[in-house]
Amino acid sequence: MNMEAHLPIPIIFLGEDLALASRLEACYQGISWGEEYRIAPMFRAQPPRDWRTAVPEKGRGMVFVQITDAGTEGDSRLIRAIGESNSGMQIVLLADDDVDYFQIATDFRIGNVIKKTRFDAAIIHALTIRLLTGNIFGFAPYFPNGFAVGPLYRTFCGRVTIEKVIEECIEACKPHVNPEELSSFRIFMHELLINTFSYAIEGISPEDRDSKLLRPRPEVDIAERRAIKISLVTDHEKVGVSVMDSTGSLSMLRVLQKLRRQSKIGAEKMPPGIWDESGRGMSMVYRYSRFIVNILTGVRTETIFLQYHEKELNRFESIIITEVNPF
């Protein structure tokens, strides 16, 4: 066997919660990585104070940092030190609901946040593939046993009526969606497509969306080079929908900002953006499905949501955003 077929990659948990470390390790023990990705994750748990004995000085790897209720100052120092020691290490935040993980994610441009009480092997598997291989676009990381391409696989260009596009997509997907989840599915599709047409086709700026509540015109002309691609795939437990544009105009910071505005953290009685008109739909997608954003700046943006047939598997509130520069 070729000894390079599977490259050992360090996966490090930095935190004091031993039960959390055990749950995370169990996820890795239960995953079969196969030959495609040529990686062999090696899990290790370590108290934050001893991080230098666990984090290698060079090479790839992942570090799960437990964000504690003691505040983010110590966590920030830790994350900064890891980055300065080895810039090749990918950071994932494991957070409590009552800690402002959005602030630390924004400060360090970390697009991967997992709620410590709500994760499973599927999320860990997908995150590891994305962060260690760079394979961010498409459905493969979320469907390890393969998937069937559904009746919806369309490229939209030329003159289109936006509401007709949205309704066509919903009708094509309807037979594959749990009827109890259909109303939320409709909202998700509508929000993602309106956002895509606003930013990628009409060129409406985030500021205009916020201050003037601008929306795309009912009919738009889509140049071939700006085509929008929409696809549906399925397996036995879920459906996945991808909306891809050809501009890459969305940003990680924009997504984090909007999700934070619609999130209640700690002692807050309501989200700070409860009266905002923009961002609500995106927040609903994030809160009630598994939501992924992939951005190749200036080239392509892909938003994916996964809707499981078992309702409770959708309520994980994981932030999975990757933004890369083609240059």
Indicate which CATH number applies to the domain containing 77. Answer: 3.40.50.2300
Same domain, residue pair 144 and 272: yes
Average pLDDT over residues 247-265: 87
DSSP output for 212-227: T-----SEEEE-GGG-
Cut 0.85: pTM above it: yes
Q: CA-CA distance, 160 to 181, in Å (whole number)?
A: 28
Same domain, residue pair 145 and 125: no
Same domain, residue pair 26 and 112: yes
Residue 1, domain member (yes or no): no
Same domain, residue pair 305 and 162: yes
Q: Is residue 125 exposed (0-12), middle (13-18) or buried (19+ Cβ within 10 Å)?
A: buried
CATH number at residue 273: 3.30.565.10
Average pLDDT over the chain, rounded to an integer:
84
Residue 42, domain member (yes or no): yes
Same domain, residue pair 232 and 253: yes
Task: Take residue 198 and report the two structure tokens written for it.
Answer: 């606003």
pLDDT tops 60 at residue 204: no
H or E element, residue 155: strand 148-156
Indicate the residue among 83, 99, 133 that finishes a domain.
Answer: 133
pLDDT tops 80 at residue 42: yes
Residue 78, domain member (yes or no): yes
Its domain, for residue 206, covers: 140-324
Helices (H), the chain: 18-29, 73-85, 101-108, 121-133, 162-173, 182-196, 206-211, 252-261, 280-288
Same domain, residue pair 295 and 191: yes
Task: Take residue 292 and report the two structure tokens written for it.
Answer: 């992924």
Q: How much is the pLDDT for 5?
A: 53
Average pLDDT over residues 167-175: 86
Residue 97, domain member (yes or no): yes
Average pLDDT over residues 94-108: 88
Q: How much is the pLDDT for 2?
A: 43
Task: Please choose, from the candidates 187, 155, 144, 153, the residue with its C-alpha nearest in 3D space to the C-alpha of residue 284.
Answer: 187
The predicted-structure confidence for 113-139, as pLDDT tens digits, reads as follows 999 889 999 999 999 999 988 888 999
Q: How many CB atoms lie within 10 A of CB 72?
A: 18
Residues 6+ apart with CB under 8 A from 50: none
Residue 91, domain member (yes or no): yes
Query: Among the ranges 100-109, 202-211, 214-223, which has the highest mean pLDDT value?
Result: 100-109
Q: How much is the pLDDT for 105?
A: 93
pLDDT tops 90 at residue 111: yes
Q: CA-CA distance, 317 to 315, in Å (whole number)?
A: 6
Residues 6+ apart with CB under 8 A from 150: 172, 173, 176, 231, 232, 233, 234, 239
Contact 188, 305 (CB under 8 A): yes
Q: CA-CA distance, 39 to 233, in Å (whole number)?
A: 26
Same domain, residue pair 43 and 125: yes
Indicate the residue among 105, 133, 161 that finishes a domain.
Answer: 133
Residue 2, domain member (yes or no): no
Indicate the residue among 84, 118, 133 that finishes a domain.
Answer: 133
Same domain, residue pair 200 and 103: no
Range with lowest mean pLDDT among 136-140, 152-156, 215-219, 229-233? 215-219
Question: Domains in the chain: how many in total?
Answer: 2
